Chains A and B, each alone.
Chain A
Amino acid sequence: MKRFKQFTQWMKGHIHLYIIGFALLIASQYLTTLTPLFVQHIVDAVFADKPSALPGFIAGLLEGDTLSTTLLLVALVSVGFTLIRLVFVFLQRTVIAIFSENVAYVLRNTLYDRLQNLSFSYHTQAETGDLIQRATTDVDTYRRFIGEQLIDVLRLFFLMSFAIVQMVRMDIPLTLISLIMTPIIFTSATIYFIKVRHVFERVEKAEGKMTNTVQENVTGSRVVKAFQNELHEIEKFDETSMTFRDENMKLSQLMALFWSSTDFLIFLQYTLTASFGIYFTVSGTLDAGQFIAFLSLLGMIVWPLRQLGRLIGDFGKTTVALERIDEIMANPSEHEGDSDFKPDIQGHIRFNHVGFQFDDDDKPLLKNIDFEVKPGETLAVIGRTGSGKSTLMNLMVRLLECTEGSITIDGHDIKRINKKHLRDKVGIILQEPFLYSKSVYENIGIMKRNANPELIENAATIASVHDDIVGFEAGYKTVVGERGVTLSGGQKQRLAIARMLLENKPVLVFDDSLSAVDTETDIQIRRALMHHWKETTVFIITHRITTAMEADKIIVLEDGIIKAVGTHGSLLEQGGLYADLYRQQNNLADDLPKEG
């Protein structure tokens, strides 16, 4: 039952198509098994005055006055009959295709939607390659199963069943004889397709090894050449390539054995049916036309049998694929049950004894963080990598939820504010921003589609990236991201700033977002921004003293706790880490000549 639910859960809203498809399938298979009976009709009813095996409503149409009109009727009706049958076949395939493509469409969209809305912590742990595999290959496995493989099983099943029915209607003893080999053929096919799986795996493994050798050789080509190991590489590759070939041949041998031995079994069945059929016909219990029809109907039983074995193997694969899809869907969307509270935000932020710890970590990343920032103020957080400064910002937009204390904006606990609303109001510029596979122009305007070009260029100019863009061959139309031009870290960061500039945000966070930009440009960009956003509350996360020193308030973070708070002046006076850093960074230049 659970299996059934797992299997049908994605079909909601389309299941009627599936049922229509099944009905058409059954009808078309029934009609297919009538085809051989036309020959039977000619041979037995027309020429020998024996009973026709065709159903009465068709046989009734075939009675002409003369032999030639009868034959003409048979010819015309058989064409008309085939046409009807083929229309059924066509409709059935089309309906099933529409059904399965609709299911796949819904499934893909659902998965994409869910993946986007899964929590941030899920994404930090997830393996991209594996998720993509599930969303593409596994979905396709399922689609093929419901749209092709299951249909094939049913088609073959009904074809065989109706063929047996037609046989029984003509002669029961010969029917039984005609089914003697079927269990053996079916069993050997099933066993083969189960056994062959591990040979397949070995082929895949051998291929993986070979691919890996090429990959390493190509990516490490400099090493190969510089150490002059080309011949060694050729030998190494040849070995894996040979193994791959040989494993393939083992599979081929099995395949050859399977097809030839099942052919043997099938023809053995033909031998039995034909021999007894002839014997029965000569003895008078069977008519000649029936004998011919038996041979045709037998083909509808024995050939499909070996396909069925493969389909059973496919069912296993589909169950695995569905489980992998369900594993993704088992994780809730982070917006599920989120509040609808969307207050206006001025930017007055308070951290009340905030602490954070991952479930599976033994020590907290942040402890007792307590500070306040008033609207329009600038706060700098300075600390080493791993001090917890990025976690602080992730908490503020609820990418992570604090495990202790609370964060308020304008007096509202952020846990009560709608997540999307919160993120819309608190703009974060990440250290490693992601650019989408679109043009530079679209990337900057991504939050405000149809923004006018002036606005975009203006934003790019403030973020000091306009000159870079104009320098690209295609200018603002240059496609970036996965399938486009590779940009430097600094260019990406500046583009991320430009895209943030299109909207006014009450709170803005620079999460080490100018780390790949040189100090001068950094200051220049930030001055322009401050000018642009006088009212905005600004957070600057950094490890650069020069970046932090102009802030209204500076927090020094070390190992998840606030070590010191103050202004540039007061922190210098206090001494400690901040002052040490300042001296180190500032005095280095003066010391240089002496060093040499």
Chain B
Amino acid sequence: MEHFEEETYQDMSLNTGTWRRIFSFMRPLKRYIYLIIALATLLAIADAAYPLINRYGIDYIIEERDLSRLPLFIGIYVFYMFFVAILVYAFIYVAEKLQHELAYIIRKKAFKNLQELPFSYYDRTPVGWIMARMTSDSRQLSDILSWGLVDITWGGMMMLILIGVMLYLNVQLTLITLGVLPVLIYLSWFFRKRILKAYRDIRKQNSKITGAFNEGISGAKTTKTLVLEETNFQDFDIKTANMRRHSIRAAVFASLYFPSILFVASIATALIFYFGGIDVSNEVITIGLLYVFVSYVGQFFDPIMQLANSLAQFQQAQASAERVVSLIDAEPDIKDTPEVIEKYGTMEEPIKANWESITGAIRFENVSFKYKKGEQVLEDFNLSVKAGESVALVGHTGAGKSTIVNLICRFYEPTGGRILIDGKDYRERSVHWLHSHLGYVLQSPELFSGSIRENIRYGNLSATDEMIEEAARLVGAHDFIIGFKDGYDTEVSEGGSRLSVGQKQLISFARALIANPSILILDEATSSVDTETEQRIQRAIETVMEGRTSFVIAHRLSTIVKADKILVLEHGRILESGTHAELLEKGEHYYKLYTNQFKEPSLN
């Protein structure tokens, strides 16, 4: 799982490919980018102009004692007031617009690709990893791109304009001010990088502390029975002490940063005091101009700090960018060939007219399979199932039951040999064609938040309310559903917690039934339910399986007994196959498994 590490700490050089890809997402938002550049430039002009307004007041009204110019001065101020207010509104609005639209685009692209990625991707990618890309990374990235653009444009323009205006006003004082510029840039960059790194260290420590709290709470009973309170506390203390050390270090860096910038600026100010003062006394410059230069020195380090900040953030955001791009550009390893796509269409534009009907006969021909970086699961596996037959798969964990099911669903494809559906290699038809004929009932019934009705309809989005009730009735769920106050509109709520496990299973059966699949996959639950529910589920299973080719990863004795064919699997091989009676008669593997596994069901 190395590549799912959340934080990578090496200093990365600029990855132009990633950024080019990210910028390509921004193409539809071009007009906002131009607007931001224009607005940020205007703002920089406004900021640079402000001391000049006061200079007018000092040099032309105060020094010349000419109050007749006061109305003009007030007029300029009032205009400035409106100008800045409108400008600030506009650039915040546009920058935010860009940010949220970009985040929306990134999420949309990522989610769409997620839907196209095969099951194998989900199998090896932690849910948390995907979630982080969809939420914090997309947010952080769009934030930095839009506000970074504002800051960089503003900062850059501000510096250019200030330098330009200063040169125009007085070359000597400008050169003095610019003298400290390299020091300022160096200091900003030096501290920014260190501060960011220090904060990353803090975050790392913080997640360790969170982990320790989690462990302390979920492991409380074990800790008590083993009397480990002291030991755990000592471990914890190391973590919090580390956290304190890192935090203080970060704070010291941060408290050095701003003062050291200010100190350098104060040297520039002092130089202006001296040389500017002498110029004033020699009447080379006016008092107003001295004021302007003192103000400009103060205004000068703001853009520098902003630029340093934005650049450092960009560098940090690269990791986010890379992860987001890796999700958006992840190539599905199960893909239809161009010929198949031409005939059957894509996910978004299926050509349903060319989709054949299905009878549901399945053949495994010399199929072998191994997971990436895993051991061989199936080798030279052969199996033939007639349409409408039910097959029970039994065997220990790791025998290959789930693999066979995953292969039938084309969640994975065989690494050798082929799988025929209705006599044709299923890779010659589209994945979506296959899935449109597939029903799947999971061990842990995954329901979605929403009403019961919506959950059943999930099997067939065009199903009417009558069809939904019919399906619920057939699996024996109707009674308990109408028993709820809101009936079919009852919210399933998070993870379906308001319904019992048994009820959730029945709903998932109704969902499968309404899909009317030709091939049914059933991963039976091992969890125990009360006898009545157990019987209901049993009846529901029989209803759902009727007339369909079905594969059951079986745990219930009665399901196995009624299957047309039982496959006893071990290490990816079929040890035995036959009906329940045949296999018991034989008295070998199945017999042993059966007696061991179902020997003590009576107590719980």
Contact = CB atoms under 8 A, between A and B. Distances in A.
B54 A589 contact: no
Contact of A212 (B90, B218, B449): B449
A549 B282 CA distance: 111
Interface in B255-288: 255-256, 258-260, 262-263, 266-267, 269-271, 273-274, 277-278, 280-281, 287
Contact of B347 (A231, A261, A271, A499): A231
A545 B224 CA distance: 29
A268 B85 CA distance: 11
B248 A97 contact: yes
B7 to A, nearest CB: 14
Interface string B224-247: 111111011100110011011001
Interface stretch (B94-102, B167-175, B309-317, B544-552): B94-102
Interface stretch (B57-65, B181-189, B413-421): B57-65
Contacts of B130: 214, 218
Contacts of B394: none
Interface string B70-105: 100110011011101111111011001100110110
A82 interface: yes
A371 B243 CA distance: 52
B458 A223 contact: yes
Interface residues of B, number: 142
Given A215-B131, A226-B438, A267 B600 contact: no
A83 B224 contact: no
B248 A90 contact: no
A211 interface: yes
B88 A256 contact: yes
B453 interface: no
Interface stretch (A50-58, A115-123, A192-200, A308-316): A115-123
Nearest to A295: B54
Interface in A304-343: none
A274 B595 contact: no
A384 B216 contact: no
B31 interface: no
Contacts of A263: 84-85, 88
A504 interface: no
A89 B255 contact: yes
B14 interface: no
Contacts of A108: 209, 240, 243
A112 B236 CA distance: 8
A586 to B, nearest CB: 9
B231 A449 contact: yes
Per DSSP, chain B at the interface is helix
A483 interface: yes
B273 A288 contact: no
A86 B122 CA distance: 54
B435 A291 contact: no
B104 A241 contact: yes
B531 interface: no
A104 B251 CA distance: 14
A192 B237 CA distance: 42
A1 interface: no
Nearest to A447: B226
A257 B602 CA distance: 70
B233 A131 contact: no
B256 A90 contact: yes
A180 interface: no
A222 to B, nearest CB: 6
B220 interface: yes
B221 A78 contact: no
Contact of B436 (A228, A267, A420, A427): A228
Interface stretch (B112-120, B150-158, B360-368, B478-486): B112-120
Contacts of A135: 213
A105 B290 CA distance: 50
B275 to A, nearest CB: 8
A218 B127 contact: yes
Nearest to A594: B584
Interface stretch (A5-13, A171-179, A247-255): A247-255
B273 A78 contact: yes
B274 A128 contact: no
Contact of A252 (B96, B446, B585, B602): B96
Contacts of B581: 596
Contacts of A488: 397
Given A76-B270, A123-B221, A424-B227, A131 B213 contact: yes
A407 B585 CA distance: 54
Interface string A350-365: 0000000000000000
Contacts of A71: 273-274, 277-278
B498 to A, nearest CB: 16
A224 B348 CA distance: 15
B157 to A, nearest CB: 19
A118 B213 CA distance: 14
B89 A279 contact: no
A399 B65 CA distance: 88
Given A43-B287, A47-B280, A264-B85, A288 B63 contact: yes
Given A212-B449, A596-B584, A434 B108 contact: no
A543 interface: yes
B442 A78 contact: no
A548 B404 CA distance: 39
A301 B327 CA distance: 49
Given A94-B251, A278-B57, A104 B100 contact: no
Contacts of B247: 97, 101, 104
Nearest to B222: A434
Interface stretch (A161-169, A232-240, A526-534): A232-240
A529 B115 CA distance: 53
A585 to B, nearest CB: 5
B217 A79 contact: no
Contacts of A249: 96-97, 100
Interface of B: 54, 57-58, 61-63, 65-67, 70, 73-74, 77-78, 80-82, 84-90, 92-93, 96-97, 100-101, 103-104, 107-108, 111-112, 114-116, 118-119, 122, 127, 130-131, 134-135, 206, 209-229, 231-233, 236-237, 240-241, 243-244, 247-248, 251-252, 254-256, 258-260, 262-263, 266-267, 269-271, 273-274, 277-278, 280-281, 287, 290-291, 294, 347-348, 397, 409, 411, 432, 435-436, 438-440, 442, 446, 448-449, 458-459, 461, 494, 511, 515, 521, 580-581, 584-585, 587, 591, 594-596, 598-600, 602-604
Given A38-B273, A78-B269, A225-B435, 5 more contacts: A75-B274, A108-B240, A211-B135, A226-B439, A226-B521
30 contacts: A38-B273, A47-B281, A79-B270, A86-B260, A105-B240, A115-B216, A132-B210, A132-B213, A216-B449, A222-B122, A226-B439, A226-B440, A227-B438, A227-B439, A230-B115, A230-B347, A256-B93, A260-B85, A268-B81, A271-B78, A279-B70, A384-B603, A420-B227, A423-B227, A428-B225, A430-B225, A482-B211, A483-B211, A589-B595, A592-B594
